Amino acid sequence: MTSSTRTSATRTSSRLRLVGSGALVAAGSVALALAAPTAASAHVSATASTTAAGAYTVVTFSLAHGCEGSPTTGLTITIPDGINSVSPTVNPNWDVAKNEVQLAEPITDSHGASVTERVSDVVYTAKTPLADGYRDTVSLQLQLPEDAAGETLAFPVLQTCETGSTAWDQPTVEGEDEPELPAPVVAVTAAEEGAGHHGAGSDSHEDEETAEATTASSTTAAGGSDVVARVLGVGGLVVGAVGVAVALASRRRGPKASA
């Protein structure tokens, strides 16, 4: 092998290493960019099975992180004014309790009964602390206020952890950037035509139980699909970048070899 041939081979090898390294760096940067939105969007969120004013709905609260890495030990969900009765869904991983306060004035519910108290908050206490990075949900069945169409109801959540706590209670203002710790919200839509609270009897409650199971399953599936999609996307980018690097290196090496 002549000196010029050895020099050409050395340069080609160097180019291959440089191109390959550059491709891997680029792929890594893209992977970090894809991962960043996941961390930024890891809020405590709320999803309602229906949002029609006056309707019974199941609101599911989802969390998948602790307090700066510390496992979650409890959730205190504040119930907005206008919602008086709440039925928490039992989750085997949590103990649950309702706290009530006196109403300023008694009201009459949809069944004609006098109501003097309302649920102010619901407290879920983890039987075993939920480790950071693991997801769980808790759900509340309630009736949305009849006069709340067009409004956004906030359900502030206090997340307590083995070390520290996080208050998800900052209001989200339309037209402004999302706050760092937004309160979970439900946007109430117009009442369904022909549906009134007097017609929300046992059949309505059975429908909501079905909706609860459907909502929980859909939320879990969506979370799993999102993770899988991100992993596959990042893997594809890395493989593609490496393939491009090898192709470029081969193309540059080809003419020198023939010379």
Whether 54 and 102 map to the same domain: the answer is yes
147, 180, 197 - which closes a domain: 197
Q: What CA–CA distances, in Å, run from 53 to 63, 171, 187, 202, 209?
A: 26, 21, 10, 18, 18
Q: Please give the average per-residue pLDDT across 218-245, as a whole number.
A: 49
Whether 103 and 158 map to the same domain: the answer is yes
65 three-state secondary structure: coil
Whether 24 and 51 map to the same domain: the answer is no
161, 182, 197 - which closes a domain: 197
Alpha helices (H) along the chain: 3-40, 202-258
- Examine the pLDDT at 202 and tell me if it is beyond 60: no
- Examine the pLDDT at 102 and tell me if it is beyond 60: yes
State how many domains the chain has.
2
Whether 71 and 176 map to the same domain: the answer is yes
- Examine the pLDDT at 221 and tell me if it is beyond 50: no
Whether 142 and 75 map to the same domain: the answer is yes
Q: pLDDT tens digit string along 46-88?
A: 999 999 999 999 999 999 999 999 999 999 999 999 999 999 9
Q: What CA–CA distances, in Å, run from 259 to 2, 10, 12, 43, 120?
A: 12, 15, 13, 60, 83
Whether 48 and 86 map to the same domain: the answer is yes
pLDDT recorded at residue 110: 75
Whether 70 and 94 map to the same domain: the answer is yes
Name the more confident of 224 and 84. 84
- Examine the pLDDT at 243 and tell me if it is beyond 70: no
Residue 1 domain boundaries? 1-41+201-259
Per 3-state DSSP, what percentage of the chain is helix, strand, and coil (rounded to 5)? 40, 30, 30
Whether 141 and 73 map to the same domain: the answer is yes
Give me the CATH number covering residue 95: 2.60.40.2230
pLDDT recorded at residue 247: 57
Whether 216 and 130 map to the same domain: the answer is no
- Examine the pLDDT at 218 and tell me if it is beyond 50: no
Out of 17-21, 126-130, 149-153, least confident range = 17-21
- Percent of the chain surpassing pLDDT 70: 59
Distance (Å, whole) CA 29 – CA 34: 9
Q: Please give the average per-residue pLDDT across 219-243, as a whole number.
A: 49
Q: What CA–CA distances, in Å, run from 70 to 28, 224, 241?
A: 27, 22, 36
Name the more confident of 56 and 24. 56
